[in-house]
Amino acid sequence: MYGKLGTLQLPQPALLWSHSAEDIKSQVAATLAAATAIHDAIVALPVSECTFSSVFTALAQAEASIANLEALNFYQFVSTDSTLRDAGEDAEETVNNFNIEKRLRADLFQVLSDTRNATLKTGATDLSPEDLRFMDRVVLDGKRAGLGLPIDQQTRLKALQKELDALRTVYKRNSNTEKGFVALARSELEGVPAEALASFKELDDGRVAVSHKGPDVQSVMTYAKNVNTRRAVWLSVQNKLVSNEDVFEKIVAIRRQLAGLLGYPTWADFITEEKMSKSASNVVDFLADLESRLLPIGKRDVAELLAFQSDFEGTTKSTLAPWDQSYYQNLFKERKLELDTKLIKEHFPVAQVVPAMLQVYQDMFSLDFVQLSADVTNGDVWHDDVFGYAVWERDATHSSGFLGYVFLDLYSRDDKFGGNAMWQLVHGHERADGSRAYPTAAIVANLSKPSPDQPALMIHFDAVQLFHEIGHVFHGLLSVTKYTRFHGTAGPTDWAEAPSQMLENWCWEPSVLSKISRHYQTGAPLSDELIQKLVDTRYQHVGLFMLNQVCYGKFDILAHIDRDSHETLTNLWGRLRREVGLTDVPEPFLPSHLNTTHWVDGYEAGYYGYAYSNVFAMDMYKTVFQRNPANQAAARRYRSEVLLPGASRDEMDIITAFLGRPPNSDAYFESLFGNSLLEN
């Protein structure tokens, strides 16, 4: 055992974060050498000794050790030490190159394929459905890797894949280390909340630096009264990662070549083959249908905001400038809906909201979070802001009630990943001896830090996003699978977002809002009146919001489908922002599509999945939870039927079993178009 929390023995040590760059390099090398030895041993087996256990179980252990190198790759996103960030990048590139070579090992694939066929011929009565799924997916990986190609084409394939991975690394590095800002006088920042002003870095000339980080930009775009200030910040942010413009063009071009080599019409077809959508054409049709339904609502939203802006300014506006949208949407809430957004924010101090959110999840799933003490972590985390928990079944009396660890890194800083995300640092799985390897997850966010005069506060939107990411953590903690490749959120992205999206609904439940909110000065929760006003804004201007999501999804899928090569990706993005997003972006178009890493980090040709999986999310919520979100019996069933299997079962089977019928889009479209705020 590895230390105690209270009276409970920890069955697995917490991750420690004292690595040097050389430690990372040597640990990666040792892990990959051990995996190679396993692969070589499988290939060397006589045919008579090739069984599921000797071949696939051995392969699974190698997969697990490689998957859990994610904790070393993670340094590139969070470390303040550039040598560790570089070592994390190198680790990821080394692992990716190893996997490219492994997938194209014809000798290994032949043994895997032959053993699978021989095993299935015997009836495989001693294998579980997850075992069978593992065999099938491993062999499918080989086929999709290009093992049927002539050797010269395989060589070309390897070279392209390695070039692609190198470009992805450059793209992410540029994103993580971007440090641009806009220098502004304090007089230009009238309206910006005091806590935001206090967080801006003071420059030598007396001005302040408004960084491109989310909290800074959000404060200015939402509250700054000076239109020139908003325009300056907007333009700077749109162009902040122009260094990735050529990089991304090359990435997309290489993907197009890879798709051709592998026999797919487009990269989008290659990617969607394993998604719930099944094909790029289905995605295009889904987005086109959603766009056609949303455009009338979005146009009405724009007209409403223009009328409000014209009335407020005493002018006649014909177009809604992109730097005006957030400002007037917020002002609309304050003036028309009488919602004091600054007062709402004062009720969401980070130090109160985060533990309260975790408590909601703990009560829902009957769990206990125990904060990690220094004797468990050796006082060793990757940054002083980070804190962690050990997670247990409620009322656990034995180490078997242990579920895993979670770390939270919530505040913005330089050289850190710039968005909100969950990392699965250790994947739960069954070890070779039958014991359990428990998961470890990390949440990375970019909230504003506390100031000397005020604690860190978050807007309600931040709370919803954080609740979403915590939902991913619980998917991992409560998933119990035999194989790492099926653990937690490992399923297709157009399904994996659904559990977290469903749980976002709790952030709009009055009872939950009352529990998680506390005014940072008085300690009082949001009043019933404020809660109702907040809930009433949920679908305000939802047409514009959802069209923005469609715009991202459509750009992503079209970028990865053969298209007019004379149109740059930046121009495609700008055109879609106008046509679909109804955003009057000026020409020449700026490359703000590069402000996300989704395109290079597993969501390429998959961004549509946020809208697609919301269909399943809303169906589950409205069918099972809407009447009583605190229903413990429903939560237990959700845990066992949806979260526990991870990706070890077919996703459609999972949701159909939970709903008691095949899913449909009725609840989703009702939430968007049936809401009273959308009715004329």
Q: Would you state the pLDDT for residue 3? A: 47
Cα 240 to Cα 619: distance, rounded to the nearest angstrom: 38
Please give the pLDDT value at position 429: 97
Average pLDDT, the chain: 94
> What is the structure's pLDDT at 680?
39
User: pLDDT tens-digit profile of 222-235?
Assistant: 999 999 999 999 99
Dihedral Cα 455, 459, 464, 467, nearest 10 deg: 0
d(CA 120, CA 117): 5
Q: Structure pTM?
A: 0.93
Nearby residues of 403 by Cβ (< 8 Å), 6 or more positions away: 367, 391, 392, 393, 438, 439, 477, 478
Q: What is the mean pLDDT of residues 283-298?
A: 96
Distance from C-alpha of 256 to C-alpha of 452, rounded to nearest angstrom = 52
pLDDT at 52 over 60: yes
Interval 378-390 mean pLDDT: 89
Q: How many residues are there in the chain?
A: 680
Give a three-class secondary structure readout of 39-66.
Answer: HHHHHHCCHHHCCHHHHHHHHHHHHHHH
Residue whose pair of structure tokens reads 């130090």 in the numeric block: 351
Q: pLDDT at residue 370 above 80? A: yes
Confidence of residue 564 (pLDDT cuts 50, 70, 90): low
pLDDT at 376 over 90: no
Average pLDDT over residues 544-568: 91
pLDDT of residue 375: 67
Taking only the tens place, the pLDDT of each residue in 238-279 is: 999 999 999 999 999 999 999 999 999 999 999 999 999 999
The architecture that CATH gives domain 21-155 is: Up-down Bundle (1.20)
**Burial degree of 274 (CB within 10 A; 0-12, 13-18, 19+):** middle
Residue 209 vs residue 4, higher pLDDT: 209
Phi, psi torsion values for 303, nearest 5 degrees: -60, -40
Does residue 374 carry a pLDDT above 80? no
- Measuring CA to CA, which residue among 391, 605, 382, 375 is closest to residue 493? 605
pLDDT of residue 124: 85
Task: List b or e across 556-595, with b for residues whose CB sees 16 or more CB atoms inside 10 angstroms.
Answer: bbbbbbeeeeeeebbebbbebbeebbbbebeeebbbbbbb
Q: Say which range, 11-15, 48-52, 562-566, has the weakest mean pLDDT.
A: 562-566
- For 291-331, the pLDDT digits (tens) are 999 999 999 999 999 999 999 999 988 899 999 999 999 99
Beta bridge mates, 8: 5
Confidence (pLDDT) at 5: 54
Which parts of 497-596 fold into alpha helices (H)?
498-504, 510-516, 528-536, 542-559, 569-579
How many Cα atoms sit within 13 Å of 166 on the Cβ side? 8
Position 2 scores a pLDDT of 47
Pull the structure tokens for residue 630. Answer: 């605190």
**Is 1's pLDDT higher than 90?**
no
Task: Classify strands 440-447 and 402-411 as parallel, antiparallel or unpaired.
Answer: parallel
| Number of CB atoms found within 10 A of residue 375's CB | 10
| pLDDT the model gives residue 152 | 96
* pLDDT-based confidence at residue 676 (cuts at 50, 70, 90): very low
- The domain defined by 264-336+540-678 folds into Neurolysin; domain 3 (1.10.1370)
What are the tens digits of pLDDT across the range 68-94?
A: 999 999 999 999 999 999 999 999 999
Residue 496's pLDDT is what? 94
> Assign residue 140 a region: left if phi > 0, alpha if psi is -120 to 50, beta otherwise?
alpha
Q: Is the pLDDT of residue 609 over 80?
A: yes
Residue of 174, 267, 182, 113 whose CA lies nearest to 604: 267
In the DSSP assignment, the letter for residue 457 is B
Tell me which DSSP letter residue 478 carries.
T
pLDDT at 678: 42
Q: Are 617 and 498 in contact (CB under 8 A)?
A: yes
pLDDT of residue 677: 42
Q: Which helix (H) or strand (E) holds 534?
A: helix 528-536
**What confidence tier does 540 reach under pLDDT thresholds 50, 70, 90?**
very high
Spatial CB neighbours of 281, under 8 Å, sequence gap ≥ 6: none
What ranges do the domains of the chain cover? 21-155, 179-240, 264-336+540-678
> Does 4 have pLDDT greater than 70?
no
Res 516: pLDDT: 97
